[in-house]
Structure 1
């Protein structure tokens, strides 16, 4: 029997950081797997979570919560058959609705194989100051689906953030468990708590463009191409991502400055530099970077914004900071 948890939350709530912490504190001897979905086509989280002690499968370029097609079910079935994990962590896109996904996991066909444990929804209280986010259907539905609400990035709160958080809890938390976390440090014991299958969660009518490609692996380069980009849009957001071949190396400091100054809501990337692997994770003005001595097989970076952006201008700046 595989135990399953959804780790959900809006864009920039800290899901990847939390997953990294959970994987680092995985009980010895347990076999874990991670199924991750991203709004963009490039597949950044797969690179960030690679080689962390768990089997990883990606479904980039859409919303795995829309189970009208086969990508999610195929990916899930492959993981269960090939790895037989003790625990499966599923990270839906920050622009996804969880209800359909939870219903599918609890369907009769999976009951002999899956035990759906607690759904953890991550909430950055600073989002409560942004009416555009608070009124977002995905944001509300993700919190409604939570068995446990995790208030993240507590090391960055101000007094007004805590005040808004207190008001939200009084109106919305109900009888659900509540925890606070800094730097993604979530207690792995939370995963073992029971999920509440009978919790009332809105059944969102969510549709994405039929032309949007979906797949079971992140975007790859074809032939002799040195780089390519991919675009996506939906749910009121737009994304642009780039992938570069293994011979492309970026100048470290200009790359970090490009990511810091890009006029977008969200920046995530894994880049080859003279210093090794550099990971970039930026939400608003929060910029987290990590340098590791290993080198990734390629470089990937993805931007997401709540309105159209002139991606060509940003692309021109990115291409200029490649080292020959």
Structure 2
């Protein structure tokens, strides 16, 4: 039986970095296949995963949940039949709903020889408050349905801010393991235990339950079936029942949106060369001003005027530029709401 782990996370939370660490420290020696469901036209992250010897099935999507459910059974069966992996990692789009992805896996478990193992959400600790407020429908879904929540960028947070972020997460999901230590300080075994949700307390409780023959019916299964009954005890009706009328002709429940109704993704390939300083100014403007719309994530790799390739990454309020190996062409992808694509094209000269 092939284990399936879903590694979700809102735009720019650090999913890709965390997956790198899982591959090198936690799952080394296992045969892994990664399935990406990228929201956007350009798959920027493919390079390093290919370098790691990981096979990729990339399902670029218009309507994320429809694509997942539509192609999902076929994609999973093909992966299992062709590669016989020990584990499949699914990296949904940053604006995909974890509940939809988990449901898609459960719907095909019996037919595809897989079992859903972990539902992991990577969350930027510094952005928990603002994202819960502004993008609750998508962001909270990833928090609520996780069995493990990995907080990123905690090393640059005060203890007070970290406690506040954890408290907000606990309100939405009291059952998940929450990793607050910067993950580059943790060894693989500690991360593995956290991902398997096997804390000492869990083990003691399990032993206690085993000794007293009292069987609970509430479904305390550490978050693995949150789409049916989450910790608040409500039965959730927010899931699409795809397959009957898919192709985005299906009935949308009130208050339940597809990612492509809320977020815009714009991407391009470019042969243009850019000064590092002008790239910095552009990212500065995107990080702090509204000149280009509400930019939630920008990433890309372009050639500098001095011949050095530059890779950049942006989330609201911060960005990073680093030197990179040459790619076959320049690529840029911007995701946000109310994007001013003409202004973006104007800067990029495309």
Q: Does TM-score exceed 0.5, indicating one fold?
A: yes
The answer as to whether partners of 2:148 and 2:197 remain within 8 angstroms in 1 is no
1:204 aligns with 2:238: yes
Distance 2:308 2:24 in 1: 21
Higher helix share: 2
1:83 aligns with 2:83: yes
Alignment partner, residue 139 of structure 2? 139
Alignment partner, residue 330 of structure 2? 299
Task: Name the CA shift for 1:181/1:15 in 2 (closer, same or farther; >3 Å).
Answer: farther
Task: Name the CA shift for 1:254/1:68 in 2 (closer, same or farther; >3 Å).
Answer: closer
Tell me the SS of whatever aligns to 1:268: strand
Alignment partner, residue 93 of structure 2? 93
Distance 1:108 1:236 in 2: 28
Q: Deviation per CA, 1:222-242, whole angstroms, max 9, x where unpaired?
A: xxxxxxxxxx97242222111
Q: Deviation per CA, 1:259-307, whole angstroms, max 9, x where unpaired?
A: 3433422111123445554322211122233323x3222221111122x
Distance 2:261 2:237 in 1: 16
Tell me the SS of whatever aligns to 2:268: strand
Query: How does the TM-score come out when normalised to structure 2?
Result: 0.72
* Among 239, 245, 261, the residue aligned to 2:285: 261
Tell me the SS of whatever aligns to 1:70: helix
Q: Deviation per CA, 1:183-225, whole angstroms, max 9, x where unpaired?
A: 66674514455875433254424699849xxxxxxxxxxxxxx
Q: Mapping of 1:149-164 within 5 angstroms?
A: 149-159=149-159, 161-164=161-164
The answer as to whether partners of 1:152 and 1:182 remain within 8 angstroms in 2 is yes
Rg (Cα) greater in structure? 2
The answer as to whether partners of 1:268 and 1:279 remain within 8 angstroms in 2 is yes
Tell me the SS of whatever aligns to 2:85: coil
Task: Name the CA shift for 1:63/1:43 in 2 (closer, same or farther; >3 Å).
Answer: farther
The answer as to whether partners of 2:100 and 2:239 remain within 8 angstroms in 1 is no
- C-alpha displacement at 1:109, in angstroms? 5.1
Tell me the SS of whatever aligns to 1:93: coil
Aligned residues: 296
- C-alpha displacement at 1:138, in angstroms? 1.4
The answer as to whether partners of 2:73 and 2:112 remain within 8 angstroms in 1 is no
Task: Name the CA shift for 1:154/1:318 in 2 (closer, same or farther; >3 Å).
Answer: same
Alignment partner, residue 218 of structure 1? none
Which structure has the higher relative contact order (CA within 8 Å, separation 6+)? Answer: 1
Distance 1:97 1:167 in 2: 22
Task: Name the CA shift for 1:71/1:46 in 2 (closer, same or farther; >3 Å).
Answer: farther
Tell me the SS of whatever aligns to 1:50: helix
1:21 aligns with 2:21: yes
